[in-house]
Structure 1
Amino acid sequence: MFYSSLSRHLALLAVVSVANAWFRLPCTGPLVQERVDPILSPTQVPSQHVHTVHGAYSEELAVRWHPVQLTRMIPDFKANSTFDTLRASKCTSCQVAQDLSNYWFPKLYFRDPKTKMFEAVPNGGLLVYYQNRGSLDKANGGPGLKAFPPGFRMITGNPVARSKKYQDGLGTQAELAERAIAWACLRYTTSNPDYYGTGGFPHTDCEAGFQSRLHFPACWDGKNVDSADHRSHVAFLSILDNGSCPSTHPVGLMKLFYEITWDIHSFAGRWKESDGWPFVYATGDATGYSFHGDFQNGWDVNVLQNAIDKCNNPNDDTINGVADACSYFTMIPAANAASCQLPSVVNEEVKGPFAKLPG
């Protein structure tokens, strides 16, 4: 489903009018790009497809992900020990020092219509929005939102999805989960305006970048930091980007929203629209419906709670989501964040060109 720029901007204005504290967390180059997935495949290295991972790196995390050491480390693979491992990290590829979380999502590839070979599409890092949304926010008369607890983790999206199942607007958790996968085709020209959609890929070049977008649940059951499917302990707000929480999940959290901008324009001279859109996710998905994202909490919980409660001053840039304006955050220079990289533990090529995707 496509949206016009005007309608999208009007919708954003409506959301901003009820927002309280929020901030944008910039993450520079990836921590690592390979087939690892500590949530869905904690005992399987390599995992099923290539992910781009951002965030914290500790020596313990590197050892735990290494296939040679995996058997020895599995007995200690618990939610709390994972949180403790992240809190012991020596660096992060994101730019707030108190956030030692991990964020990851599948990589995008270009499949050349002539050679049928796959090549990795470069992306400009990751931008994570931490948004105060919903009726539980203090700005909307609620008790206030809570910081993610130690050991908390969750996923959004479905890596095996290949088509749309639900009519937009049903408001069920299944429909909201489907609509949580979105994209923007950025052009920045009046003759070729931006356009937006959910689920399936666009059909044109995006001169200023193709942007994958992910909405995460913002309602928590208040008890479990994870669940067997990594979804059931959380729920979406009733209208996805705002609204109320279901009674089964009465605790409001900061709503995470990922933006990843891929440079598909660098391949513009190698395909035409009659070829069909030549980009696929690392899942092998040429439809776009399988995009998904993971979050593993590594925050200093007290710092995040203070930011939620107090970094909402209308007289400074916290009102505009500028993380640097929140006095509880220590910002990391972009060059320092970019130097934080986890050595690859899977011995395979992930950039291409190659005839078959890894996995």
Structure 2
Amino acid sequence: MRRTRKRSTLANRAIAASAALILGGGGLIAANVYASAGEGWSGWSGSSPQQQKPLNAGQQMSTIDCPEVANGLRDVPQQARAEVDRELATMDTQITEAYQRFADQKEQIQQDPAFAQNAILNPLKDKRVAAIGRIVIAIDRVAQRPNGLESLAPCTLRADDANQVKDQDGGDQNGDGQDQDQGQNQDQDQGQDQGQGQGQGQGQAGNGPVAADFVDIQNVQPNVRNPRQLRGASRGTFTTDCGRNENGKFNPDNVIVAPGVSNGAHHMHDYVGNQANDAFASDDDLANGQTTCRNQGDRSTYFWPVLRLQNGQNENDANADGGGNDQNVGEILTPSQVTMNFVGSPVSRVTAMPKFLRIITGDAKAFTNGDANANASWSCTGFEDRQLKDKYPICPQGSQVVRTFTFQSCWDGQNTDSANHRTHVAFADGNGRCPNGFQAIPQLVQRIVYDVPQGTVFAVDSFPEQLHKPITDHGDFINVFNNRLMQQMVNCINGGRRCA
């Protein structure tokens, strides 16, 4: 039975008609309508400036593309961390506001290319320059002054034909050629879909997803490869049961990336486990918080962007931050099942995770950042040997949609967090070995299942400019196991047992 969030009012649940597109074989249908989310700092590597490609009148564009300033920060002193995090969150808000202007004035931009530069890109650049200046000052007070961040201020408009409107002082910030090809394919698909469905093929409010974001899982070839387990492998599994967010704990905060900032994520999260989690939660708050986990020794927090049905029905947050105010609309689905397993290493024993270890997997800005840190995994029950990274699955009747997050399994042995929230943890290589200087820890594998009605488009919440692309999916975890239960987990995994 399909499960959705209960509402306090039914008056605004008007059902809007949406055009349907037949996608692939089997007569499977997906309505071409919208959803949105994001956080984390990804692996943007930059590129040399190129000659500006002017926007032609009438050219279709899909989004605003800004480089991640955080990727230019090799280290952020603890004394400056709070101020830097606030400024980075402010820059996310600036992009959201600029994207809203872009969406509202898209027709004028198509008719007058100079309007985009003067009314959107230049003012956005000025705001980003000011925010970068404040970041530099905050770090300069306590450590070596970072250099070169100003080059990350200019943003571009990504056109549907893969051309971009560049800031006069900026270069192409798309990353490597592989990521550019991915953007080209998606943007070309969007252009081909123009005029079809609500929002001219761009979903509700013209914000995605589009037909090209979906694929029939039955047309995908098996692609899962697991590393071979060696003699020293830790073969056990520890399962924690924290429910499915039946109690409806949602907020658009992100205490890892934007602590102390309301609506730091610009999209709504599902939370299970720790119930004290919001933007202002300290480690002490989390340690003393209530938990939905069956074993009260697990007060960890697990959160991910909500999944919404694009069926024309409004949610309670239709006029709220993280919801409709950030172009995340539609009916929030409650998972039919959430499974959280901690597994071992195929080549070694695991060591205990430190308390309050923070891990982000995936990149909420992968559509514009490129896929260096993307870790989305989409599939269908009965077909989980076929995993999708940049497409949503269309499941056959009787099969349910599955999101899987396989978190980093290697820790640097010292830090519970890092300046970019990534470098203190790492993935093992294809053979299951951790990088030099890292040690294996229990690996969280999170499987979230949804009963999605046939013929209904769905999408994860996202930052508006990320267009609800499936590649932007991501998950967050803060370890708040007590020491005794953590040691039981380690012993279970290293002992090759299955424990719950």
TM-score by length of 2: 0.47
What's the CA shift string for 1:119-160, capped at 9, x where partnerless?
Answer: 22231252111011143x23xxxxxx2221122111011101
Correspondence for 2:479 among 286, 297, 300: 297
The offset of 1:303, in angstroms, is 2.4
Q: Which has the higher contact order (CA 8 A, sep 6+)?
A: 1
Contact 1:21 1:307 in 2 (8 A): no
| C-alpha distance in 2 between matches for 1:163 and 1:25 | 34
Corresponding position of 1:21: 236
| C-alpha distance in 1 between matches for 2:330 and 2:360 | 27
The offset of 1:15, in angstroms, is 5.2
Tell me, yes or no, if structure 1 residue 280 matches structure 2 residue 495. Answer: no
Corresponding position of 1:93: 292
Corresponding position of 1:244: 433
CA RMSD of aligned residues (A): 3.2
Identity of aligned residues (%): 23
Contact 1:164 1:289 in 2 (8 A): no
Correspondence for 1:39 among 230, 235, 256: 256
Corresponding position of 2:185: none
| C-alpha distance in 2 between matches for 1:16 and 1:251 | 16
What's the CA shift string for 1:78-120, capped at 9, x where partnerless?
Answer: xxx51x322222x321222211100000011122389996222
Tell me, yes or no, if structure 1 residue 183 matches structure 2 residue 400. Answer: no
Contact 2:380 2:393 in 1 (8 A): no
SS in 1 for 2:366: coil
Corresponding position of 2:6: none
Correspondence for 1:146 among 351, 364, 370: 351
Q: Which has the higher strand share?
A: 1
Corresponding position of 1:222: 413
The offset of 1:38, in angstroms, is 1.0
After superposition, residues 1-359 of structure 1 pair within 5 angstroms as: 4=221, 8=224, 11=225, 14=228, 18-30=233-245, 32-47=249-264, 48-57=266-275, 61=276, 65=278, 81-82=282-283, 84-89=284-289, 91-112=290-311, 118-135=330-347, 137-138=348-349, 145-162=350-367, 174=372, 177-178=373-374, 180-186=375-381, 188=382, 196-206=386-396, 207-239=398-430, 243-247=432-436, 249-264=437-452, 266=453, 268=454, 270-271=455-456, 278-283=457-462, 285-310=467-492, 318=497, 321-323=498-500
SS in 2 for 1:196: coil
SS in 2 for 1:181: coil
**What count of residue pairs does the alignment treat as equivalent?**
262
TM-score by length of 1: 0.64
Q: 1:201 to 1:113 in 2, by over 3 A?
A: farther
Contact 1:134 1:237 in 2 (8 A): no
SS in 1 for 2:488: helix
What's the CA shift string for 1:286-339, capped at 9, x where partnerless?
Answer: 43000001111111123212331246666xxx3xx341xxxxxxxxxxxxxxxx
Q: 1:113 to 1:213 in 2, by over 3 A?
A: same
What's the CA shift string for 1:181-233, capped at 9, x where partnerless?
Answer: 212212x4xxxx56622312235235331111111111111111101111110
Corresponding position of 2:76: none
Q: 1:212 to 1:16 in 2, by over 3 A?
A: farther
| C-alpha distance in 1 between matches for 2:448 and 2:230 | 21
Which has the greater radius of gyration?
2
Q: 1:289 to 1:95 in 2, by over 3 A?
A: same
| C-alpha distance in 1 between matches for 2:268 and 2:352 | 30
Contact 1:109 1:120 in 2 (8 A): yes
| C-alpha distance in 2 between matches for 1:107 and 1:131 | 25
Q: In structure 2, what residue type is equivalent to 1:200? A: D
4+ residue segments displaced more than 6 Å: 113-117
Q: 1:245 to 1:216 in 2, by over 3 A?
A: same
Contact 1:29 1:93 in 2 (8 A): no
